[in-house]
Structure 1
Amino acid sequence: MDFRMGKNNVFIAMKILFLGFFFIFFFFPLITVILKVLESDFSSFLSVLISNQKLIWNSFFQAGVSTFFCLLIGIPAAFIVARRNFKGKKFIKALSLIPFVFPSILIVISFVIVFGNNGWINHFLKNVFGLKEHIQFLYGFSGIILAHTFYNFPLVMRFVSDAWEKLDITMKESAKSLGADKFQVFWNVTLRQLMPSIIASASLVFIFCFMSFAIVITLGGIQFSTLETEIYRQITRNINFSLGAFLALFQFIVLGLIGLIYFYFSKKFQIKEKAVLEQPKKINFFEKAFLLILVCFILLPIIALIVFSFFNQGTGEISFKAFEKIFFSGNTNLLGTTALSSIGFSLIIALIASVIASLMGLIASLKQTKISLINVFVASSLAVSVITLAFGYLIGLKSGNLLIIALGHSILAFPFSFRVINNALNKIDEESLDSAKTLGANELEVFKEVQFPRIKNALMVSLSFCFAVSLGELGFILVLYDGIYATMPVYIYRLLGTFDLVAASAMGLILILISFIAFYAIEIYSKNEQVF
């Protein structure tokens, strides 16, 4: 018997609050986008797609290639983390969360420092090998794939390693006893058991890469546009709302279908608590080397920001001029805001968004007892892109206050909150709930005395993760208010527009330090919680 949702008035009110919130701040903006399409000649929908087939191809191609490389790196990393014993395993698992608290605009800055035309690698090649011309690593298609791989392979590693670590060895031993060799066991048993986690992680990576904004618009430029960046250009530069709406609707349909695939396989991906587990083996030299390369790949962008922020690039001496420049140079007229204001806006928005997203995630989890409508909410909110949602707010809500921004961010963070809290609630055994009810507890008392104490850590993880998601979000504010409420990512984006990489690195370092507080909180409270 499931007591997650009963007839108690408190839970009914919570359900009404959730439905009202999602209708006003999610479905209504999307409906306005659809209505904008219907205002035009809907029969031209196909012709619009044909005329923009290069954009569509770019979107699918870069997302597909990015997903391929994430799987190529993530699955071997998952194997080592799950099936090998070595010092620093907890450190490696912790590092896998870094890209998710590392805002995408910072990926751009750090990759420019390391891989750019005048970056560290090009300087190294010129000095050591005497190259006269720089090698193009970063800009265009290759740079997008490189950045997406860094940003998303840890998701594959974390998903698949969690599944691999908890595989029941019984089927594997049975196959061996029937004469199967190692390859046959892996292909017919292990891989089939891992397939739900692989498909779930791949579909999620594809969604993130398909609707990537900051990385594509800065590294891809005009020569490599995707649906997401073109929607932004049409509604902010060309003021062509009809075309923007057409492209946004098509993108939402595509991502909605991929989101359903993710949701289906993530539900099938269940970690058995009482499985007979295989003992990890000792790590070998090649596996250590592979992990070392991955650690360097993850940490290099952070090191780049620190070096660029604190060291004079001409003399190599420690310098604080970059921080003096952003806090005391008086660039308000140029950037439209001050550094302190951008920090304040970011913290306020992220705090409000994390609380609202976690509350909605809790309500959705408590009332999700095979209610298919919740599946629609989760899949839809996962599939909607930042630019599409912001477009709906622009033509639907037409409001310019900080609360609206925070509410939009909470929608974007909701899928993560739901996943964390719902997983925690699913771990509570039915016997505990039945016992509480038998002793006379009503639904609210069951929640207060049985459920809430067991999901407190999950709630903290949710708050921290949603805080980090909101903190690094760029596209929503750029579309909706053109940066009037300039958060730290907007401030950095404007600094990059003035080609001031040093000042952008300094503000980026402040942003990542705040993000790492959220990262630290996630690591403390996520001992037994699934973040994805």
Structure 2
Amino acid sequence: MDVSRTEVRQAAAGAAPRRGSAVRLGLTVVPVAFFAVFFAYPVTAIVVRGLRVDGAWRIERLWQVAAGSDVRHVLWFTTWQAAASTALTLLVALPGAYVFARFAFPGKQVLRAVVTVPFVLPTVVVGSAFLALVGRGGLLDDLWGVRLDTTVWAILLAHVFFNYAVVVRTVGGLWAQLDPGQEEAARMLGASRFAAWRTVTLPALAPAVAAAALMVFLFTFTSFGVVQILGGPTFSTLEVEIYRQTSQLFDLSAAAVLTLLQFAAVGAILAVHARTVRRREGALRLVDAAGTARRPRGAGQWALLGGVLATVGVLLVLPLAVLVQRSLAVPGLGSYRALGSDAGGVFLVPPIDAIGNSLEYAAAATAIAVLVGGLAATALTRRDAGRLLRTFDALLMLPLGVSAVTVGFGFLIALDEPPLDLRTSWILVPLAQALVGVPFVVRIMLPVLRAVDVRLREAAAVLGASPWRVWREVDLPLVRRALLIAAGFAFAVSLGEFGATVFLARPDNPTLPVAVARLLGRPGAVNYGQAMALSTILMLVCAAALLVLERLRGGEGTGEF
């Protein structure tokens, strides 16, 4: 029977999507194996170790710990401060989101980078910056005798500082794509400015606002470094309490119960977050993506711009400036010079060695995160992916919400036997850091990969290209910029990872965040000055990476991280 060339082409075109689906499922093997071995296994191991003694399960211990007044107090404070931080962040940052979305003014690109710097800074550096501003001997203490350290206000302000960019990027990115003509049409029909905003703009922004709020709540719910440095012994989140029970009291059963509580809470948060993200992606397809920014007009708009600039200056720039000033307090760059000496006895090597260690670890972690995250994002490319892939997409976010302390300690007790005896291997630190970097790689690359016209892939497949060649010839040229941006963010967050690294970094190979925390934990002006100097160096490295990202982004506004 004769078969026409057209029928052959149609059969090949029909087979291409099926082959692509099989390939995408195959691509999940590496990410699934990575998360199973280096996330699920260590977390499960430490929980089982805590709840199982002499071969018997201690389920009653779970109820004893969970029902304790101390745990209820910690859980209440963790939830309360996260909700308060989220509300305060939205209140302060939403005007900034509007300004960055709708106004055009000189230095906007540089200011956008400045606004984003706090988000990629390690929480230890954020805590150090606010300690230099509101702590004993800080700027406010010197000028007016005001101290906010060991108060909840210092924690809340530091969380706003850290998460300001989340709202500006997420909400502002969508706001810039909304057609202002719709709101103007409502006003022409007689609606007031507020009524037009409430009935037209706010419903369109609601998914992005909800997504930003959930992200901020997630980050503050699992806060560790900020609370540990600024809260003192008075305040403790679940993450801080897990660290205390694990490293100070050696009560693994209590730590295991707290981990399960945090895991349940974060799972619920991520379920809501996943639904919000899907709604947001659907909304973006309906809006006009043309540029809508213009110069401010009228006294009200100029006042709004001035207010946002003042807020950025006081809330974001001032703590960083004070951090730099404190690092220069010793004449002749004394604090920086002291970094080359190990006379203080805090480490087995001079503190300056932490710079090289951090860069090496972060580079290795970035390579791992880009490989694993890139494969995962490619597998999740189709919007109509099945329930299994959608579940996998949500699970990829878990490392951002599950206790990094649990992961770090789990590495030590789980990866201690062949064939995974890695306790003495340097790769432990990059592996833990990569767990945090992978979700950022996926979230940055996935929208770009989904924007690639599927017909281009199908045409290449019909012409005989292998899946690898389709990726290299079609996808890679289109997503190269997103890949570089993802690598930059993975590098920045890996550089600042602290919760797991504090367990894994050896005294002869400290990272910058671990070195800063150890120096802050020891008395003496010399140790404090070195902590400020290392924090400044880490801040400058993160800022440089972020400026490179802004240049890679060019003029393309996006709300994705």
Same fold (TM over 0.5): yes
1:329–1:404 Cα change, 3 Å: closer
1:432 to 456, 459, 465: 456
Cα distance in 2 between the residues matched to 1:329 and 1:196: 52
How many Å apart are 1:146 and its aligned residue?
1.2
Cα distance in 1 between the residues matched to 2:360 and 2:516: 18
8 A contact 1:260–1:379 mirrored in 2: no
What SS does the corresponding residue of 1:269 show, helix, strand or coil?
Answer: helix
How much identity, in percent, do the aligned residues show?
29
Q: Structure 2 length as normaliser, TM-score? A: 0.86
1:216–1:455 Cα change, 3 Å: same
2:226 to 208, 212, 215: 215
Q: CA RMSD in A?
A: 2.5
Cα distance in 1 between the residues matched to 2:126 and 2:51: 38
1:41 has 2:41 as partner? no
1:19 is aligned to 32
Deviations, residues 107-159 of structure 1 (Å, cap 9, x unaligned): 2222122222321122222xxxxxxxx22323221111111110112211111
Deviations, residues 395-434 of structure 1 (Å, cap 9, x unaligned): 3224242201211110111111110111221221223223
Q: Which amino acid aligns with 2:349?
A: T
Q: Which amino acid aligns with 1:461?
A: I
1:509–1:215 Cα change, 3 Å: same
2:375 to 363, 388, 398: 363
What SS does the corresponding residue of 1:320 show, helix, strand or coil?
Answer: helix
Cα distance in 1 between the residues matched to 2:89 and 2:15: 38
Q: Which amino acid aligns with 2:353?
A: S
2:432 is aligned to 408
8 A contact 2:123–2:225 mirrored in 1: yes
Gaps of 5+ in 1: 126-133, 313-317
8 A contact 1:102–1:512 mirrored in 2: yes
Cα distance in 2 between the residues matched to 1:250 and 1:393: 20
Deviations, residues 498-526 of structure 1 (Å, cap 9, x unaligned): 23321111122222222223212211223
1:507–1:73 Cα change, 3 Å: same
2:129 is aligned to 110
What SS does the corresponding residue of 1:261 show, helix, strand or coil?
Answer: helix
1:300 to 297, 318, 329: 318
Cα distance in 1 between the residues matched to 2:560 and 2:210: 17
8 A contact 2:74–2:237 mirrored in 1: yes
User: What aligned pairs does 1:133-282 form with structure 2 within 5 A after superposition?
Assistant: 134-169=145-180, 171-172=182-183, 175-176=186-187, 178-270=189-281, 271-272=284-285, 275=288, 279-282=292-295
1:400–1:100 Cα change, 3 Å: farther
2:9 is aligned to none
2:542 to 499, 503, 515: 515
What SS does the corresponding residue of 2:497 show, helix, strand or coil?
Answer: coil
Once structures 1 and 2 are overlaid, which stretch shifts more, 416-425 or 318-327? 318-327
Cα distance in 1 between the residues matched to 2:305 and 2:363: 39
1:446–1:4 Cα change, 3 Å: farther
Q: Structure 1 length as normaliser, TM-score? A: 0.91
How many Å apart are 1:241 and its aligned residue?
0.5
1:465 is aligned to 489
1:503 has 2:534 as partner? no
User: What aligned pairs does 1:125-136 form with structure 2 within 5 A after superposition?
Assistant: 125=144, 134-136=145-147
How many Å apart are 1:205 and its aligned residue?
0.7
Cα distance in 2 between the residues matched to 1:166 and 1:3: 34
Q: Which amino acid aligns with 2:48?
A: L
1:334 has 2:346 as partner? yes
Q: Report how many residues are paired.
A: 518
Deviations, residues 455-503 of structure 1 (Å, cap 9, x unaligned): 1111111111111111112221223457563111111111112233211
User: What aligned pairs does 1:438-477 form with structure 2 within 5 A after superposition?
Assistant: 438-477=462-501
What SS does the corresponding residue of 2:223 show, helix, strand or coil?
Answer: coil
Once structures 1 and 2 are overlaid, which stretch shifts more, 486-495 or 1-10? 1-10
Cα distance in 2 between the residues matched to 1:169 and 1:435: 38
Q: Which amino acid aligns with 1:18?
A: P
User: What aligned pairs does 1:415-426 form with structure 2 within 5 A after superposition?
Assistant: 415-426=439-450
